[in-house]
Amino acid sequence: MNKPFIVGIAGGSGSGKTFFLNCFLKHFDKSQISLVSQDDYYIPVGEMSAEENKQYNFDLPSTIDKALFLEHINTLIAGETVYKKEYTFNNASATPKLLELKPAPILIVEGLFILHFEEIARILDLKIFLDTEEEIALQRRLKRDLIERGYSEEDILYKWHNHVVPAYREYLLPFKNNCHNVVSNNTQIAEDIIRVSKDISEDLKQKIQFLSKSEL
């Protein structure tokens, strides 16, 4: 298989990266696209108390197994399948799934530090940056963590101000102007992101020139 076209998608917490990514993926068949997520490469830390979890900073590059992350990206580039246990965010009661990542003409690499990790950034053919005002991103994070993860507002705000924002400003924001597409996502209007994801995907299809339109 020829080298895949590699797309990097980066965005801070609450930027709407997951929604954008899901919209983007809908424009391709499963055989055309492969996704590798930085979130599946956190270094396990074992069970922690609520206070330990609050204090532990997950928003640092050192919390990611960068070597394995890069190894699996290169394996997919080489046209080979990757098997990786799903990361369950230290939820001891969750049974991790075995993820099967198959090579494809388009490889998406997504995560907070993908532009900071030089070895990864330099192999990206297309860099997409999800840009959101910090106050809007905070409101989205509060909504998610209060409802979906059961964290207290105090814990969420502590992590936001002490971990999330400093990491965003140091490890992601400096690379914004180096990206090919900066997607502003400051509204709750889903159609805006759906339209942008469609435009970028159509442009990408032209770039990689699939052999026949019927395959799309």
Task: Please report, for residues 15, 30, 104, 107, 165, the alpha-carbon distance to residue 85 in angstroms, rounded to integers and kept in the order given.
Answer: 26, 20, 20, 19, 29
Helix (H/G/I), strand (E/B), else coil: 60: coil
Q: Tell me, letter by letter, the H, E, C secondary structure of 31-51.
A: HHEEEEEHHHHECCCCCCCHH
CB 203 within 8 A of CB 27: no
Phi, then psi, of 126 in degrees rounded to 5: -140, 125
9-64 confidence digits (pLDDT tens): 999 999 999 999 999 999 999 899 999 999 999 998 877 787 887 899 999 999 99
123-172 confidence digits (pLDDT tens): 999 999 999 999 999 999 999 888 877 788 999 999 999 999 999 999 99
Mean pLDDT of 105-119: 97
> In a 10 Å sphere around its CB, with 0-12 CB exposed, 13-18 middle and 19+ buried, how is residue 54 labelled?
middle
Rounded Cα distance between 198 and 60, Å, is 32
Mean pLDDT of 186-192: 86
Helix (H/G/I), strand (E/B), else coil: 83: strand
pLDDT at residue number 92 = 61
Phi, then psi, of 209 in degrees rounded to 5: 50, 70
- Structural domains of the chain, ranges and CATH numbers in brackets: 5-208 (3.40.50.300)
Which of 1, 109, 201, 54 has its CA nearest to residue 193?
A: 201
pLDDT at 88 over 80: no
